[in-house]
Amino acid sequence: MCQECDETGQHLFVMCKVAQNIWDLCERWVGLANVRHESITIHFQSFDLACRRKSASITWKGMWVAIVTELWNHRNKVVFNRGVVNAKEIFTLAQLKGWCWLKHKFKRVTFSYSDWHFSPLQCLDTLD
Amino acid sequence: MDGQVLKEKFPRLFSISQCSESVVGDIAHRDNITSEGCSRWCLGWRRERFIWEKQEEEQMVALISNVRWYTDAQDRLVWVGDGVNKQEYTVKSGYSVLNKEDLLQRLEIYKVLWSLRIVPSTIVCAWRLLLDRLPTRYNLAKRGIQLLD
């Protein structure tokens, strides 16, 4: 998407400045910063909430999947449909997706999208 | 030799050798083979060697000359294995060799991934990414497909 490097999985999802931008947004959203690993598997492994309960940490990994999927969809839009690269859009869609999943897969979800948007950690805490 | 390939032990010699593709039988002097080893080798070189390369060659010849020969036995494949069950292949030793790679760790990741309570089709996307099987430009190019910009 940046048109500067070979489009490998590692570049597209971790190293590229568009990807960096999205992971930045995500960190700012939860207010936690992690070491960013260059390897995709370790990136996935270390994408957790160390200060929270394990179950919350695992649920949180769903956000990783959401971000990755949205990034890939967006990339396809850019490559095949003349889309314009927009990191903020990718992240917002991933946030929305994450909320929809929680809403439908967990019975006890009582929080609204705006709760999720403003304090995701507290929302995750209510799940178990 | 001693768990190390000569090519890696003497990379310089390998790079100037004319017999890098030869098998042992081609370069050992028939007349000099005894059960104690082989004392003469016909090693061909692409060019004159420097002094330090000659020294390396002497080292290497000294190393290979002491190898015992089984002149009457047929060549056969040997399973080097996991270092415990030498020579004989067992499923267990094969399994433990494979496991030495970070396979178990990877399996752990996939277990977490597939246990997530989210839409399966998106897990597939993430799963393909973790396996590096997404059709990125790079992966397509590896298979000979070029995308036009």
- Predicted complex ipTM: 0.91
Which domain does A113 fall in, by range?
9-125
The pLDDT of residue A73 is above 90: yes
The pLDDT of residue B87 is above 70: no
Is the CB of A1 inside 8 Å of chain B's CB atoms?
A: no
Residue B95 lies in a domain: no
Q: What are the pLDDT digits (tens) for A12-57?
A: 999 999 999 999 999 999 988 877 888 898 899 889 888 888 888 8
b/e burial code for range A57-77 (CB count within 10 A of at least 16 → b): bebbbbbbbbbbbbbbbbbeb
**Residue B125 and residue A44: Cβ atoms within 8 Å?**
no
- Amino acid in position B47: R
Residue given tokens 């015992």 in the structure block: B68
Total count of domains within chain A = 1
| Facing residue for A65 by CB, picked from B116, B132, B136 | B116
Q: Strand, helix or coil at A18?
A: helix
Residue A1 lies in a domain: no
Residue B85 lies in a domain: no
CA distance B144 to B137: 10
Residue given tokens 């009582």 in the structure block: A110
State the pLDDT confidence band at B130, using cuts at 50, 70 and 90: very high
Residue B89 lies in a domain: no
Q: Which two tokens stand for residue A55?
A: 């179950």
More confident residue, A23 or A128: A23
Residues of A in contact with B126 (CB under 8 A): 44, 64-65, 68-69
Residue B118 lies in a domain: yes
Residue B113 lies in a domain: yes
Assign 3-class secondary structure to A22-77: HHHHHHHHHCCCCCCCCCHHHHHHHCCCCCCCHHHHHHHHHHHHHHHHHHHHHHHH
Which domain does B26 fall in, by range?
6-65
b/e burial code for range A93-127 (CB count within 10 A of at least 16 → b): bbbebbbebbeeeeeebebeeeebeeebeebbeeb
Q: Strand, helix or coil at A7?
A: coil
Work out how many CB contacts closer than 8 A connect A with B: 68
Q: Which two tokens stand for residue A125?
A: 């805490």
Residue A4 lies in a domain: no
Residue B77 lies in a domain: no
Residue A26 lies in a domain: yes
How deeply is B91 buried, as exposed, middle or buried, from its count of CB atoms within 10 A (0-12, 13-18, 19+)? exposed
More confident residue, B76 or A45: A45
Q: Which of B102, B119, B132, B149 to mutate to test the interface with A (most CBs of A within 10 A)?
A: B119
Share of chain A above pLDDT 70, in %: 99
Residues 61-120 of B with CB under 8 A from A: 106, 109, 112-113, 115-119
Total count of domains within chain B = 2
Residue B90 lies in a domain: no
CA distance B53 to B46: 13
- Per-residue pLDDT, averaged over B83-106, amounts to 72
